[in-house]
Amino acid sequence: MAFQGIREVENYFVPLLQRFKSSREWKKIHGCIIIHGLSQSSFMVTKMVDLCDKIGDMEYATRLFNQVSNPNVFLYNSIIRAYTHNSVYHDVIRIYKQLVRKSLEFPDRFTFPFMFKSCASLGSCYLGKQVHGHLCKFGPKFSVVTENALIDMYMKFDDLVDAHKVFDEMSERDVISWNSLLSGYARLGKMKKAKALFCLMPDKTIVSWTAMISGYTGIGCYVEAMELFREMQLAGIEPDEISLISVLPSCAHLGSLELGKWIHMYAERRGFLKQTGVCNALIEMYSKCGVISQAIELFDQMKGKDVISWSTMISGYAHHGNADGAVKTFSEMQRAKVKPNGITFLGLLSACSHVGMWEQGLNYFDMMRQDYQIEPKIEHYGCLIDVLARAGKLERAVEITKTMPVKPDSKIWGSLLSSCRTRGNLDVALVAMNHLVELEPEDMGNYVLLSNIYADLGKWEDVSRIRKLIRDGNMKKTPGCSLIEVDNAVQEFVAGDESKPFWTEICLVLQLFSSHQDQEVIRNNNILALIGMV
């Protein structure tokens, strides 16, 4: 076939490259390209590198690129893009350095977004700032895409100052600009700033709402997360899988079973139950809301169980004190050849703790380290010590606190102190209390517990001494609280808080229930009238 020029030859081969069906055909086309003298054509090699990017053959792409003596910036961008798409970030940096040092051309606005993504993925803030400096030095006009990538990079480095500086200096912002900054603040738990940005946003997308919901859930503001979820629906934004996964932990912690059930039905209707993440979040929600049977049913129906699925179900059994169910599920997990993680063993240790299976707990602790090379964290040590303390093995528990590689926290010493009352072990109680005085000097509950231990042993002088310390020490006690869901709204009641509406009426109802006349009042239906008032 006769061609009149190089451009005509190139245009002939481009459609062929787009339609190839096999590796053999692809290599045949490449051979023809070489025969026609196009092995040094940056345009032609760029097309072939793009094709390698799509099929994930980076070895071939590298060979193609290396054979070109003087690649232009478009070919550089193509190989950088391909390496980034295939997560070969170190090669991205290598090629970029070659572009800056050896090429007669400069990086352009198509180069930098992939460079910022690669620097973020490598976790190199220093390198990222260098590339940012090159962006200013080489002077391609800033574009929204480049600046969005820059904000995203700084946010991944937790560098809020530089990210916000880039955002403030942008001449033009799109919804991605706002969402990148908002998501970063929300991920870091800076919800006051995130809320301010959210209110200023000209256009809110599902990403914006989900970032806020996830952020509130992450810092334990579960009521705010649920309220925002409802506001999102009122704004006409339909929840997606990620937003459901973000709000379900709030349902679990607040015991909002009705909203959780609605989410379950909604997910089923939209086909989201095919997503493992949604099912995992629903299993956790049902477990923590006390409906373990529904969690089990959902777990049994799952087809693609991952390690989170198994661990969540094991933790659900542990939460309900069903150690046999947790152990059985772990055995099934092993048969399914799913490798457990630290959360899995945390659930197993917690299950053993509830029923005093201290020997089994020790076995799981050793299995975690020896069989799966999982380094125990302080939570694992806390569960193990709780297992031993509840089983009366206080001395052994104390020995572990002395040899564990991390410093025991207040939860560990509090667990020991609590078990000492059951076992009447004053020596261990005093050891635990000495550490708690350092860690939680103003926590009145620890002193009350020690006072009760003295009282159980008949040491009344020590009881008086501890009570005097409580009176003179200006100590604080964490007030008790309870939650109840009424008409899809969760109401929280805190001991001593009289700010709730109808507080007087609520107290009157409680008094009637606890009085000797409550049965007569109920028979007269007066109690129903009072409840109606509330």
The pLDDT tens digits for 190-219 are 999 999 999 999 999 999 999 999 999 999
Q: How far apart are CA 37 and CA 13, in angstroms?
A: 12
Higher pLDDT, 533 or 110: 110
Q: Give pLDDT, residue 212.
A: 97
What mean pLDDT is reported for the chain? Answer: 85
Q: What is the per-residue burial (b if ≥16 Cβ within 10 Å, else e) of 131-167?
A: bbebbeeeebebeeebbbbbbbbbbbbebbebbbebb
For the chain, what are the domain ranges?
481-533
Q: Give pLDDT, residue 162.
A: 94
Q: What is the mean pLDDT of residues 375-402?
A: 89
For residue 157, pLDDT over 60 is answered with yes
Q: Could you write out the DSSP letters of every residue in 105-126?
A: S---TTTHHHHHHHHHHHT-HH
For residue 471, pLDDT over 90 is answered with no
Q: What are the distances in angstroms from CA 316 to CA 25, 177, 286, 287, 293?
A: 54, 40, 9, 5, 10
Q: What is the per-residue burial (b if ≥16 Cβ within 10 Å, else e) of 493-524?
A: eeeeeeeeeeeeebeebeebeeeeeeeebeee
Q: Give pLDDT, residue 527.
A: 45
Query: Which residues have C-beta within 8 Å of that of residue 208, sequence separation ≥ 6?
Result: 175, 178, 179, 182, 198, 201
Least confident of 207-211, 374-378, 510-514: 510-514
Q: Give pLDDT, residue 528.
A: 44
Percentage of the chain lying above the pLDDT 90 cut? 51
Percentage of the chain lying above the pLDDT 70 cut? 84
Q: Give pLDDT, residue 495.
A: 64
Least confident of 100-114, 190-204, 264-278: 100-114
The pLDDT tens digits for 441-470 are 878 888 888 888 888 888 888 888 888 888
- The sign of the dihedral angle between the CA atoms of 255, 259, 264, 270 is negative
How many other CB atoms sit within 10 Å of the CB of residue 71? 25
Closest CA to 307 of 271, 273, 344, 282: 344
Q: Which residues pair with 491 in a beta bridge?
A: 484
Q: How far apart are CA 193 and CA 161, in angstroms?
A: 12
Q: How far apart are CA 36 and CA 1, in angstroms?
A: 11
The pLDDT tens digits for 14-58 are 666 666 656 666 677 767 777 776 777 788 888 888 888 888 889
Confidence of residue 60 (pLDDT cuts 50, 70, 90): confident
Amino acid at 19: R
Q: What is the CA radius of gyration of the chain?
A: 32
The tokens describing 67, both together, are 């054979």
The pLDDT tens digits for 300-312 are 999 889 999 999 9
